[in-house]
Amino acid sequence: MTTATYLRVHGRQAAIWSGGLGLLTGQVMRNLALPPSYWRLVMQEVDAMGVRSVVVALTAAIFTGMVLALQSAVNMARFGAENYVGPVVALSMLRELGPVLTAILVGGKVASGITAELGSMKVTEQIDALRAIGVNYVKKLIVPRLLAALLIFPLLTILADFIGLLGGMLIAVLERHVDAYVYWNNIFYWVTVRDFLTGVGKSFFFAAIITLIGCYNGLSTEGGTEGLGRATTATVVQVAMGVILADFFLTKLFLFLFW
């Protein structure tokens, strides 16, 4: 296969995938306000997505905060500025690392699970059965997952931010001998509510991207169990890439709007 043919084939596949994802997004938006409201399913998804992912998100957050504090303190010590470790850790966690790491780690787990579940239903023709009996499968299968994600990811991001700051404090106080009061006082002096809201705002967009990618890949699964495996693997990669790309454009947008 020549380079031109390779690019043409994969470009066509990317266009088909993007178009299908866009059409699914439009269907979901139309179905958000339609009855019935499957709140019991939403609560089940909250448990599956959020409660079972807390350990993963917080473990990553605390060690990220500790690494940030360790790296920044060592370099800032050259200039006698170790007392400003707190703002460095806080700004990094609140604006970027908190929402992005939470989205990639938890999102990969959540989206691959959604793809596997919906893909299994597609392969075993359960989706076709729902259509045959007149059930709105988008409203029942996708909307509850999206609503749960929009609730869970901001909460996980807030928890990850706080735990990351605690991890940074542990390193700053116990290893670099920075006073705990100075650590938190500098954070509250230099960090604004806008910095916090920027990261939380990103998490809403990440939640939608993660859920829609997982649902679309599940509903478009073909080729039996082998195809299901490929779809699940592709979901993890696409979620990571989607979060990273969205983070850049969201950062540009928020800087334009609020700074």
- Distance (Å) of CA 14 to CA 7, 8, 11, 28, 108: 10, 10, 5, 21, 20
**H or E element: which one contains 80?**
none
Q: Give the model confidence (pLDDT) of 217-258 as tens digits.
A: 999 988 877 888 889 999 999 999 999 999 999 999 999 888
Cut 0.75: pTM above it:
yes
Domain boundaries, the chain: 21-258
* Per-residue pLDDT tens digits for 145-168: 999 999 999 999 999 999 999 999
Q: Taking Cα atoms as reference points, which of 34, 25, 56 lies closest to residue 152?
A: 56
243 and 100 Cβ atoms separated by less than 8 Å: yes
1 band by pLDDT with thresholds 50, 70 and 90: low
> pLDDT by residue (tens digit) across 174-227?
988 899 999 999 999 999 999 999 999 999 999 999 999 999 999 998 887 788
- Do 166 and 59 touch, CB atoms closer than 8 A? no
Q: What is the dihedral of CA 74, 79, 80, 84, to 10 degrees?
A: -70
Tokens encoding 177: 């001998």
Residue 6 has what pLDDT? Answer: 61
pLDDT for residue 259: 72
Cβ atoms of 173 and 179 closer than 8 Å: yes
Nearest to 21 by CA among 210, 222, 246, 249: 210
Provide φ and ψ at 67, rounded to 5°.
Answer: -65, -45
- E-assigned strands of 49-162? none
pLDDT in tens, 95-111: 999 999 999 999 999 99
CA distances from 82 to 66, 87, 160 (A): 14, 10, 23
